[in-house]
Chains A and B, each alone.
Chain A
């Protein structure tokens, strides 16, 4: 098990260095001189230009620039946003909890519905439920979620239709909640005196959660179904039945425990999908997370922010994948107990 983790970690380091290389190259391959690019249409005087070149180290040889860049990253310095003049890492970290909150809600939503649905479909294979679930999940998998979000806004938020849920943001403007943990649900529940703020936070979460959770839900349902179908045909399930165990125990313990090995991996792999989906979902619902921040940064040509964001997001995806691998090893005795 330990060797398994170390080998995975060993693969991670070169990958991370590769990501920093891409991020490093990103600013340098943009057409035009980096300083002019950063300055935008205003332009800069030649003196200021030279000064800035020296300040950002663009006048040094490439390899030296990269060494400095890598050193800075390892010290937690991702540079400064060109627009807000704030450290990129700070900007990232203040927005990160919003995305985590949304992504967690989405994955919980997706698992709570997708997992049982997949199990039932597998057990009742060929039934009407099975067929309709497969149809619905394929539609969910094919969903352009940016449109799905707009459609739900029309249905649930538009005052002409149902008018149930708010359209944008994390919180009604009526409330001011000081960020303590950055997680709105926790902050409003434990650290805020404002009445009704928690309800407002939940209210704001509903639609983004559904939109972001749709594709993972479809994937989880389909994968759970096929994993369960495979496992239900295994000899050990027949053995469990031959022991005279109740149906719930045969399916819920003997079969599910084995199916979960694949399903956990599938859920873990959805993290990348979620972060990609967060870019769209956050844009639609004006959710102040890193997805919207990155898109805004690209549009504002805040290239240091894009660069830093890229490194952070890739780092997070890699760490999550490592955790998933670890979990996979934990729930799969064949790996856990291999010496």
Chain B
């Protein structure tokens, strides 16, 4: 046996399987440069959101009546106390953008948490119990999918009333089918495997089979889907805000900020440009990360 092989064997013996897995994950993830850049930008946004109160120069809803529509500091007429300028009622753009990151991340987290728990439970149960329950559940998911997601969300918000919380509920409902379908398919596929039969023969209960035996083995596609819906949730929440059905003014939500800025698109480019750029960069960072995750988690894509 060559030295190299011996070395590899040694190192695998020393570290625990979980750390080994993480190490392997990081190896594949870090091969994708874009994913690493995305990860660091995302961590930066998270940090900004956490420290929003500390780092933002002004309060996000404070109106400086004497500084209305001030351009960014580097432009003529700019003012260094308002680095990215002010909006139509004299609020500091930078502070609003910083606080806006909270709403976007909040939306993404809640939507993922809700859809992941409900969707996976429903999907696993459909794939596990089959029969009528599965048929009815899958038809309901088809119905949700038949309506374009944004339209569905709009109609739901119309029922529930405008607002960020209701927008999040509406978005969660429209994302549900993806998780249900994905986890049902995995559950059906895994259910036929020998290790599940072995566990069943050993006397494992239904819940244990569903969540402890099967679920960990179909996590990879779910994690990738979760990253994807994190970014789409941010986009859709912003779109609802833009249409006036999401977060309501004066909340510094990026989409809502854009809606307020619409009338100034020809006169004050900064009030339009920055919120959108913030959305684009955040979503892009998460999607870059998602690509890296998919490469690292999906064994089918590995090394291809």
Residues of A within 8 A of B (CB): 11, 14-16, 18-19, 22, 26, 29-31, 135, 138-139, 141-144, 146-148, 150-151, 153-154, 158-160, 229, 233, 272-273, 275-277, 279-280, 283, 294-295, 298-299, 306, 310, 313-314, 317-318
Contact = CB atoms under 8 A, between A and B. Distances in A.
Nearest to B33: A131
Q: How large is the interface on B (under 10, 10 to 19, 20 to 34, 35 or more residues)?
A: 35 or more
A236 B220 CA distance: 31
A279 B150 contact: yes
B170 interface: no
A314 B151 CA distance: 10
Contacts of B304: 229, 233
Contacts of A31: 161
A280 B276 contact: no
A246 to B, nearest CB: 27
B279 to A, nearest CB: 5
Contact of A280 (B239, B272, B284): B239
A276 B143 CA distance: 16
A31 B161 CA distance: 9
Main secondary structure of the interface of B (DSSP, over half): helix
Given A283-B243, A299-B244, A310-B147, A146 B258 contact: yes
Contacts of A138: 34, 284, 287-288, 291
Interface in B26-80: 34
Contacts of B139: 11, 14-15, 18
A46 B284 CA distance: 55
Contacts of B154: 279, 294-295, 298
Contacts of A150: 258, 262, 265, 272, 276
A154 B148 contact: no
B159 interface: yes
A273 B148 contact: yes
B242 A280 contact: yes
6 contacts: A15-B143, A29-B159, A154-B269, A294-B151, A298-B158, A298-B245
B147 A18 contact: no
